[in-house]
Amino acid sequence: MGIVLDVRDLAVRFDTHGGSLRAVDGVSFRLKAGETLGLVGESGSGKSVTNLALLGLIPSPPGAIESGTVMFDGRDLLKLPTSELRKLRGNRISMIFQDPMTSLNPLLTVGRQLGEVLEVHQGMSRREASKRAAKGLGDVGIPAPEERLEAYPHELSGGMRQRVMIAMALLCDPEVLIADEPTTALDVTIQAQILELLADLQQRRGTAIIMITHDLGVVAGMADRVNVMYAGRVVESAPVRPLFRSPAHPYTRALLASIPRLAASTDEDLAAIPGSPPDLADLPPGCAFGPRCTRVRDECRAAAPPLVELDGDAARRAACIDSDVLHTESPSSAEGPR
């Protein structure tokens, strides 16, 4: 499969009152056509900033791209002038955000908002655009799409609004869809509808999806590959099944061990991770996870370990000096019951 997006060594800095901080620090990944890449991390891990940077949406100041390249269709997105980026955004690369209420314009009908995308990017007439917009709404499972074109966002339920956002993002048949916590604000039964819809649309159109989420369940069900982020860096990258079966970074492993499971009743304490995610303006020396890690040693404090291929497994990478040991032992033997 072809690579549609190639991100190399991306670094984003923010100058805040509390000092200068690096929100994204040397992130590299490739996205293949038709695949779903999960980007997992907690608040402040850099997962959203990474994707805003791809689209040239980092506010400057306080933000600045320090380094990196983002290759898409032979061009570096980070070097494109805004006018060129605008032609791509919402057209060949689209984005869905967590909160559909704030990303839709409350003063415009659904039909106008969708129609505008087509008029701008595809030069359609109003009538053509409106017809195509209705088809787009139908594709995402909205009943009576022609009538819905006249509706304002506040007249729709949360799940319907998210469908409208997805319809809008897919109107121009993008090669890449970036979904930033697309179901976090929704109830689980509606989340199931939206995730099913995304998987179905992806299969039909071959769209590559970057799925940003903190929910390990969403990743387990949706992603082909996963990048786990911590304090601005990718600390582990692996195909989804091996990642959950034999996590090779202590953070991934601890995160998986700490969540309560729906599939079992237990009265034992959860294996909580001590401490909290670090302050990016005041990172510990060496590995940022060090202060919370059970395996931490002097070497860990000396320098942050680079993200390197695991022994004998070219598909997996991890940034820990113990990764080769970790991924060969099963997490259940080391961390108690899952």
Partner 1 sequence: MTTPLLQVQGLSKHFPVGGRGLLGKPRAWLEAVSEVSFNLERGQSLGLVGESGCGKSTTARTIIGLHPSTAGSVKLDGAELTGLSRKAWLPHRRRMQMIFQDPYGSLDPRQTVASILAEPLAIHGLAKPRERKLRALALLDAVGLNPRHVNRYPHEFSGGQRQRIGIARALALEPDILICDEPVSALDVSIQAQIINLLKDLQDRFELAYLFIAHDLAVVRHLCDEVCVMYLGRIVERASRTDLFEAPQHPYTRALLSAVPLADPELEAQRRRIVLEGDVPSPTNPPTGCAFHPRCADRERVPGGKCSSERPKLEPREGERVNACHLERAANEAS
Place of tokens 């195509």: 132
Strands (E) located in the chain: 3-16, 19-32, 36-40, 63-72, 75-76, 93-96, 176-180, 208-213, 225-230, 233-239, 308-310, 313-318
Q: Is the Cβ of residue 272 or residue 314 nearer to partner 1 in the bound state?
A: 272
Q: Which letter does DSSP use for residue 143 in this model? A: S
- Alpha-carbon gap, residue 176 to 184, rounded angstroms: 21
Q: Is the Cβ of residue 77 or residue 254 nearer to partner 1 in the bound state?
A: 254
Shortest Cβ 315–partner 1 spacing (Å): 15
Q: Is the Cβ of residue 55 or residue 137 nearer to partner 1 in the bound state?
A: 137
Shortest Cβ 218–partner 1 spacing (Å): 5
Q: Which letter does DSSP use for residue 284 in this model? A: P
Q: Is the Cβ of residue 99 or residue 215 nearer to partner 1 in the bound state?
A: 215
| Residue 84 DSSP SS3 | helix
Shortest Cβ 227–partner 1 spacing (Å): 15
Shortest Cβ 221–partner 1 spacing (Å): 4
| Residue 72 DSSP SS3 | strand
Strands, sheet with 313-318, edge to edge from the N-terminal-most edge strand: 93-96, 176-180, 208-213, 36-40, 225-230, 233-239, 313-318, 308-310
Shortest Cβ 261–partner 1 spacing (Å): 6
Shortest Cβ 170–partner 1 spacing (Å): 20
- Alpha-carbon gap, residue 316 to 232, rounded angstroms: 19
Q: Is the Cβ of residue 130 or residue 237 nearer to partner 1 in the bound state?
A: 237
Q: Is the Cβ of residue 82 or residue 189 nearer to partner 1 in the bound state?
A: 189
Q: Which residues bind partner 1 (CB under 8 A)?
A: 42-43, 157, 159-160, 187-193, 195-196, 214-221, 240-241, 244-245, 254-256, 258-266, 269-274, 276-277, 292
Cβ atoms of 307 and 225 within 8 Å: the answer is: no
Task: Give Dmax over CA atoms of the chain in angstroms.
Answer: 67
